[in-house]
Structure 1
């Protein structure tokens, strides 16, 4: 496999032995991704905590589905308290959300997307401290067991390449490309280095979102990018490999720009619909119930499947009072009460429908 040297960025990935493709200097496809940037930021200033709580869980579910970690929407929201999660898949999705939130906090605090942050993200995803690969033998194979790609095998080479990638993320040396184009390059390089024993795909997709946060294109880590990828999964893997085999950078970058554009449009539409529903629900409860409070509204929208324990904790009321509030809302059709095992759940059906619309099937 040939490797091309980028004279503008000579430190980046010209390793013939390890097959990590060189980034071409003229990677931009000539497309103006400005509208994606505007859409990525739109509508996020209302109730950001609610959006982070609900929408990051959707991104976690879809990113995990790419790796065949499949959960239903109902299972996910019923078990969204990690202490109650039973299924392995649900636990993995919840860890993804936790890792995304932790990475987001680090990037917002420091303004940097460092190797240490990426290591922390992967550690939370996989619940281990294995760190970067140190042993040879990692290979990517198709369903028939045929070798598709062999990433760098030498531990020193993996660490060097990740150091190069960290510098590239922070424009050292400067790389004059639109941040969305650069995100596509960063993602491909990360997946080609394949730095971890496990969790590379999901870590790489979290890095996408964190990079957009670092660049100021997202105020909060809410973007349905993985939903588009899971819908076009064969193209995603085909184009990843086409860069390695044929330096097909333009097709890869165009694919990622299309993914961001589609994700931004869908995310904004969902955010706006949630905002309208929240206002309608707020007005309805305020007009009809003396126990209305903003804490109650937050509870109903932070937890599409809420429980008495959640309301008790978040409203600061007794269990009896929390039960009375939720039962009253269920009796009038604001919520739907169901019993699963020993637990009662109060479902915000309109919110659940919005979050489930367009979601990848289980």
Structure 2
């Protein structure tokens, strides 16, 4: 990191105990009037409308759990891929169904992300506020059991970290966050900003929080993922989202280079305008994609439901259908029996009825047999590919 790369820094430089140059970002900006360019105002208005439409969709949908399950998994896969994992949504579902993920590092990271997001969102919807202990608990859950974890889960770092190409020394870093001994006042300032009830629009506030968190980089590892989880949680805290169905990380993954560049440029040149434009465009794009995907999933379920009701299938079969949407579209007969709390012959009958209607197919290579819902998987796979184009 060079001073010359920071012509108009949003902060100041300081040397740590080893003599390395670090960057200390300014307190989070409170006077935001100067940030309101005509383009920002236009984007904010559109982003508010799109996110509002998505949230209304989730609140009016009696089958919202159909959306939450795949949406959180999509978000977890995308956010983890930004950090270098290679797991796809289908990979995750297969490992989850086969219960073979406990020794797969990528699966563990994605699964931890899902647990962290779900538990965190329940807490904010239940009235808890995102303070520093809350953020530490997110980090603890996120990195638990991962062999890649550095530092102590749930604890602010005590060592210097830096952002650079993999395994590169600090001398080649593009960004060196604050010295650990400088973190406390920065974190208290960020906490105060998150908790303060003010007139700053929630989407602007979310963008500013995300930049500040990444600039501080408070943990030795997992900062990107924790920061992206906080995006959804803060929107929940602010009353903008009542379910975690905005997978903003897909936008960041799709524009990964620009994502990192915008964050860095905000530190180097105080370019909040560029960061806010990028962030708000992401809200608009992903809100629209979330709505489109929800319509496809709802339409698919409705067509299946109507088809099965005409055939007068058992109640267990209808419950099994629902489980394919709210749980995993890959399923073993024994697992289905356990999930539905029925005997094995009853589960077998449900699977047979779903097979007859083409909703389930049996894999030819697995013993015991694993069944999968090809249209559900194809819908989610297409959505995943489309978002990453």
Question: TM-score normalized by structure 2?
Answer: 0.83
- Partner of 2:111, secondary structure, is helix
The answer to whether residue 348 in structure 2 is matched with residue 323 in structure 1 is: yes
Q: 1:64 aligns with which of 76, 80, 85?
A: 80
The CA distance in 1 between the partners of 2:368 and 2:112, in whole Å, is 23
Q: 2:123 aligns with which of 91, 99, 106?
A: 106
Check whether the contact 1:21–1:243 (CA below 8 A) recurs between aligned residues.
no
Q: CA deviation at 1:298?
A: 1.7
Q: 1:350 aligns with which of 358, 375, 380?
A: 375
Check whether the contact 2:86–2:106 (CA below 8 A) recurs between aligned residues.
yes
| Cα distance, 1:323–1:316 mapped onto 2, change above 3 Å | same
The structure, 1 or 2, with the larger RCO (C-alpha pairs under 8 Å, 6+ apart) is: 2
Q: 2:179 aligns with which of 142, 149, 153?
A: 153
Q: CA deviation at 1:225?
A: 0.6
**Length, aligned pairs only:** 350
Match of 1:30 in 2: 41
Q: CA deviation at 1:289?
A: 4.1
Q: Could you report, residue by residue, the CA deviation over 1:177-218 in whole angstroms, capped at 9, with x for unpaired residues?
A: 211111100000001110111111111100001011111111
| Cα distance, 1:112–1:82 mapped onto 2, change above 3 Å | farther
Q: Could you report, residue by residue, the CA deviation over 1:70-90 in whole angstroms, capped at 9, with x for unpaired residues?
A: 113332111225943252212
Question: TM-score normalized by structure 1?
Answer: 0.89
Check whether the contact 1:229–1:236 (CA below 8 A) recurs between aligned residues.
yes
Q: Supply the RMSD in Å over aligned alpha carbons.
A: 2.3
Structure with the higher fraction of residues in helix conformation: 2
**1:327-346, aligned counterparts within 5 Å?**
327-346=352-371
Q: CA deviation at 1:321?
A: 1.8
Q: Could you report, residue by residue, the CA deviation over 1:257-281 in whole angstroms, capped at 9, with x for unpaired residues?
A: 0001101000011111111111111
Q: Could you report, residue by residue, the CA deviation over 1:127-182 in whole angstroms, capped at 9, with x for unpaired residues?
A: 16533334232111135932111111124x2232222111101226x3x3211111
Q: 1:182 aligns with which of 199, 205, 220?
A: 205
**1:38-77, aligned counterparts within 5 Å?**
38-44=52-58, 45-77=61-93
Q: CA deviation at 1:330?
A: 1.6
Q: 1:310 aligns with which of 314, 335, 344?
A: 335
The CA distance in 2 between the partners of 1:90 and 1:134, in whole Å, is 25
Match of 1:125 in 2: 142
Match of 1:214 in 2: 237
Check whether the contact 1:52–1:220 (CA below 8 A) recurs between aligned residues.
yes
Unpaired runs of 5+ residues, structure 1, are 5-13
The answer to whether residue 24 in structure 2 is matched with residue 19 in structure 1 is: yes
Check whether the contact 1:152–1:158 (CA below 8 A) recurs between aligned residues.
yes
The CA distance in 2 between the partners of 1:111 and 1:67, in whole Å, is 28
The CA distance in 2 between the partners of 1:295 and 1:204, in whole Å, is 36
| Cα distance, 1:21–1:40 mapped onto 2, change above 3 Å | farther
The answer to whether residue 151 in structure 2 is matched with residue 135 in structure 1 is: no
The CA distance in 2 between the partners of 1:91 and 1:339, in whole Å, is 27
The CA distance in 1 between the partners of 2:346 and 2:312, in whole Å, is 13
Match of 2:321 in 1: 297
Match of 2:94 in 1: 78
- Partner of 2:363, secondary structure, is strand
| Cα distance, 1:105–1:339 mapped onto 2, change above 3 Å | farther
Check whether the contact 1:224–1:263 (CA below 8 A) recurs between aligned residues.
yes
The CA distance in 2 between the partners of 1:168 and 1:52, in whole Å, is 29
